[in-house]
Structure 1
Amino acid sequence: MPHPALDHNVLIDGFLEMMSAERAASDNTLLAYRRDLDDLVARLKSSRTDAIAASTGHLEGVLSSWAQDGLAASTAARKLSAVKQFYLYLQTDGLRDDNPAHMLRGPSQGRSLPKVLSEEDVDKLFDAMKGDETVKGLRLRAMMEILYAGGLRVSELVSLKKAAVLRRDDCLMIKGKGGRERLVPLTETARYAIDAWLHVRDQTLPDNPSTAAKAALFPSRGKLGHVSRERFAQLLKGLAIAAGLPPSKISPHVLRHAFATHLLANGADLRSVQMLLGHADISTTQIYTHVLDARLTALVQDHHPLAQKDKNKS
């Protein structure tokens, strides 16, 4: 039965405050956890129980209802992660003596490879921007050069400060997930595109710019003070159309994948790519090992003495 004095909002608020303070969870992560836990509470309520009284069986029922709703395995896994962390928090804070989510297992997830653009497709995107010397054209060129040169997350790109590109060592200092900082080197073409943009940047400032807009590398009149992720995604779709590529094939994250894949295909090692992407764990970067596997296979086929003898025989 439900706990008579339970306020789920208070519990969830406390959990999210902990995730923000101790785990440096991003705003997007916190919003996702809020939705997932609100969903959990609603489903437990339909089973006439609540978060404090719920048993492992109750939680298994929630997992089953997600499956019946046709949730993708990746979405169900994310929800389960939120549930597990929430119950660990309740146990740690003494609100429960046990953790009913401890033994829960989510649906198996296939190891899907990231969507990747070919180097030819990336060339088409950049070719589509040639000759556009308008303010918006120079801004898009700078954003694209930074994104592809450094493999940034779109949130990292749009929130860049003007001060970040005024360094003399041709590098960007990026503050990524969890507040982790990393140094990202810039290509010569990226540096040139940034310089061209800086000459016209002030033309995009509103009449009475906010402090955020003054500091932003890509200022905007919106409340964020900088170009939003959604706006950049729209610009990218338009660029894809101009380049003759399907808009559905292009997104900021696909370009991040392209950055990593093309580096590996051209000889970079996995650890270096991990550092450039800002992955906390090498296991996250290992989704790209298919590229290394293909490169190593080609290396053996092209250079191994036995492979050379086989070619000579044929």
Structure 2
Amino acid sequence: MHRRVVLVVFDGFQLLDLAGPADVFAVAGLLTRGEGYRVEVAATRAGAVRAQNGIEVTAQTALADVEGPIDTLLVTGGLPVVERLREEELPGQVARLASGARRVASVCTGAFVLAEAGLLGGRRATTHWLMAGDLAERYPDVRVDVDPIYVRDGEVWTSAGVSAGVDLALALVADDHGHALARDVACGLVVYLHRPGGQSQFSTQLNALTPRSEPLREVQAFIDANPAANLSVPALARRAGMSERHFSRLFTEQTGLPPGRYVERSRADAARRLLEVTGHPLERVARESGLGAPETLYRVFRRHWRVSPGDYRRRFHSEENRP
């Protein structure tokens, strides 16, 4: 039997939020030969719906006309989503359909629709990192986690922005049919094999702000370029020509991260890159990334990406990129 998937769109939605998951489900259907998915596109009105990039897709059904059980209800995202929340019909219909769905999911800012529909209260959820603060402020009962690519809380799944919808859909396929099928779908689409949900959406350099102060910008660049150096607060404060207290205060204020936390995340990024592009043993990866010992490497990786270093290397190591 086919699993019924209803993909919800609205004027101004992100096309890849729709196309990515739709293609994952379509390829899974081909590979399962009759035990895959039946995908429907729905909107508040049936007919043409214009994506953010100007391309129009056809919603076969109006949300109000969708009846019967649904396996997966998935809401796409897009920049105008907050405006669409003022139209009560969209979150209202999503809430109605969710009550008859086995599971509910969102891509990117589709999480705002789920939250407005009352589906994320008390749950852990994620969204595009640029909008995570807005989601948390608008819906204080939602436990917003800005880092993961996707989050599962019970039968409610949320993902980060745009391409993360592919990771989410692969995870849904793996949940239904096992990781072997998800791997085959990923190979067919020539995408990463199902990045673990806990993997960070972005690197430390993107996560932190660029300091306004030139000495702090130089310190930040030094940290990222020299993970194995002495990056203690006293050493960094001397490099910036400041007292330790003044340096810590300004660095936190201008980057959004305390110095120690920034250093750990930068070193974790360095270790991640070494695992991707080298065959170095974990002892050397830990040493060259400034983390010191394999035990620390493991602990930091689990904290930041919720996978072990070995599992990360198995998923993302590329022989072609080795120096």
TM-score (norm 2): 0.27
TM-score (norm 1): 0.28
- Higher RCO (C-alpha under 8 Å, 6+ residues apart): 1
More helix by share: 1
More strand by share: 2
